[in-house]
Structures are given as C-alpha cells and as structure tokens.
Amino acid sequence: MGSSAFRNAKLVLADGVIEGALSVNDDLISDMSTGPSGVGEDLEGDYLIPGLVELHTDHLENHYRPRPGVFWDPLASLHAHDVQVAGSGITTVFDAVRIGSDLDLPDMKIHAAKLVNAIRTGNAQGWLRAEHLIHLRCELPSHDVLDHFEAFADHPTTRLASLMDHTPGQRQFLSMEAYKLFYKTKMGTTEAEVEQYLANALAQHERYAQPHRKAIVARAKVLGLPLASHDDATLAHVEEAATDGVAIAEFPTTLEAAAAAHDAGLAILMGAPNVVRGRSHSGNISATDLVRAELLDILSSDYVPFALLQAAFLLPRRVEGLSLSKALATVTRNPAKAAGLDDRGEIAIGKRADLVRVKMVGEMAVVRGVWRQGQRVS
C-alpha cells in the first residue's frame, strides 16, 4: 500500500501531546519523532489525532427514512451517511440497525435487510470511506425480534448488539407525559391514537421483553457477540446487565445507574450531542457531569456525526483538569477497546494508520484531512 509521512504536527498520544513527525508504512504507523523534520506532508502545526471510533449512530437510518413514510434508496443512503461520517473524522463506524417490528413499522425485517445488505455491499465493493460494522439494536418487546436477530447476527460485519426496551414509563422515558409529548410531536398523532399506542406497547412489553432478552443474551454468548444495555435507569437494570455479561452501558439515564455500571466494570457510553448541548434532549443525566464524576468512558455521536469530534475538543474547556488526550480517548481508544478492536484508536507504532488532521479555528475543531489505513479518504 506504500508509505507516507507527516511533519510539523501536534501528535495527540495516549499520555499527552507532542510536536513532531509521523511515518506510515503500508497501513500501520511505523515511526514517530519529536521536533522538526524535513520529511513528509507539512501539517502546519495542526493536530494529528487517531481516527474516531463510533459505536452507536442512528444516522444511517435517518438517511434511509428522512421523513415518516419516506424511504430512500439504501445504497444512496449509505453513501450520504459515509461521506458525512468520514468528513467528521470517523474512520470506524458501527451503524445501528433497528431490529424488531413495531406498530409504526410492521415490516422492520424488510427495512433492516436493506440496510444490512447495503453495508455489506459497500464493504465488499470497497467504495466506503470509513470502515462500517453493524450494531443490532434489539427492541426486546417486539414480537419478531428473535427472528430478525437470527437473520443478521451470525455474520462478520455484525460486531455489537444492544438490549433495548423503549416501552413508555421506564428507562429513557420515565414520565408518561414526556413520552406522550415526544410521540405526538414525532408522529403527529392525536391524543386517542397515542393512548391506543401506549396500551399496545405495554401489552407487548409484558408478553415479550423478558423472554426475548434471555434468548438474545444466550445466543450472543454462543456467537461471541458483545452486548450493550440501553437506557439503564435503576440499580436493578444494572444488576441485570452485569448478570447477562453486558460489556457496555449505553446512555444510563441517572447518576445512580452510571455509578453502579462503573462499579460493575461496564464501559459507560453517553451521547456527544448531550455534551455539545450541555444537557440530555429528554431531561436525563448530563454527560458532562458524568465526565466530572469520572464515570464516562465512551462518547457516541448518536444522531449528529460531527458532534463526536466537537464534544471531544469541548470537554477539556468545560471540565477542569481534563486533558485533550483523555478527552479524545472517549472517541478513539476507549470505544475501540470496548468493541475488541485493539488494532486502532491510538497513535502508536504498530497501530492502524487511521488518522485525522484537525485545525482549531477559534474554538471550533475543523477536519482538514482523514486517512484510513494510511489512505486518504477525506
């Protein structure tokens, strides 16, 4: 694949920032040095950071379904998503694909298959800028989630699954009134339609959620597929996750749940938009507060790809004593480690040459170049 070099860069390493140069041989970082160098592309004093690793983004689904009832071509959706992801400095992305039909989308398997097949096609044909892997978002109360899981889980591109239950009145939406407002605003439904939806959702939860959770946990263990819990709000939620061998606690909604997850050894993931906005969109715990309490390991862009880089550069200004290296670890080394990707996420000799050039324009981090495995992709 050839070799390349960069000089006059601020290299953000695991334990600090150095001014120096970096060399790439084939797809790996082969050498680093401090001080001036006459060899390589001049980065003009910009930062050179590891490529970002994104474990949970709904962004592909947003391209595929840009409006209720509107479905875009899946390959075109993937292309648009990939361009924005890579342009935001993300070189490894776990595309979250919802499985399990619901009352809004009774044919979810058809839509999930289109997205999964698009990702596999893009990877096989080699035109994707970032490396795309699949994160199955398993909606446990859905009657057909087990069928969907079996259809998509046993494949090399599927590398993570999350145990989700968006039944109103718990987890993300503890307040029924907050859920009603969210659902009415999102779907444009009447009060009577919302009430009927709630009744049906609660009935499905009672019938399916626990049996489906047990079945997916057991199958994931056989497949060696890492699991994440989602929207844990109570000690009981965290205890259940720990018992099930869950590795990642996604978006815990309370400080109590986050502290318990930390004590249980789970990696805690929160949304980067939460950091950028300074609060949760649904009124839950602030991600920045979890950073201050040393209870946050990973950030996810969730629904805004650029938020990942933006949040990482914002955090050292908002949290006293937090270094840029430690902040960037939440979007590079930590998510890579949690997903079992030990070959990337850090600027170090022998690691994959997934790199991002970042220039500071005032307080805004601007992406000026992206390389995946040593090849420029943006």
Dihedral sign from CA coordinates of 362, 365, 371, 377: negative
Query: Torsion angle, CA of 51/54/268/141, rounded to 10 degrees?
Result: -170
Q: Which of 170, 162, 245, 155 is nearest to 205 (CA)?
A: 170
Domain ranges of the chain: 1-50+345-378, 52-343
Strand order in the sheet with 248-250: 52-57, 90-99, 131-139, 158-164, 227-230, 248-250, 267-271, 298-300
pTM listed for this prediction? 0.92
Q: Which of 68, 79, 74, 88 is nearest to 303 (CA)?
A: 88
Per-residue confidence in pLDDT tens, the chain, 378 aa = 679 999 999 999 999 999 999 999 999 999 999 998 888 999 999 999 999 999 999 999 999 999 888 999 999 999 999 999 999 999 999 999 999 998 778 899 999 999 999 999 999 999 999 999 999 999 999 999 999 999 999 999 999 999 999 877 665 555 666 666 666 555 556 777 777 777 888 888 889 999 999 999 999 999 999 999 999 999 999 999 999 999 999 999 999 999 999 999 999 999 999 999 987 755 678 999 999 999 999 999 999 999 999 999 999 999 999 999 999 999 999 999 999 999 999 999 999 999 999 999 999 999 999 999 999 999
Calculate the CA 374 to chain-centre distance: 23
Could you tell me if 46 and 357 are in contact, meaning their C-beta atoms sit under 8 angstroms apart?
yes
Please list, residue by residue across 135-156, b when 16 or more beta carbons sit within 10 angstroms of its beta carbon and e when fewer do: bbbbbbbbebbbebbebbbeee
Q: Which two tokens stand for residue 140?
A: 């446990």
Which of the following CATH numbers is that of domain 52-343: 1.10.287.3610, 3.40.190.10, 1.20.120.140, 3.20.20.140? 3.20.20.140
Q: Which fold has domain 1-50+345-378?
A: Urease, subunit C; domain 1 (2.30.40)
- Gap between the Cα atoms of 216 and 163, Å rounded: 8
In which residue are the tokens 């981090």 written?
365
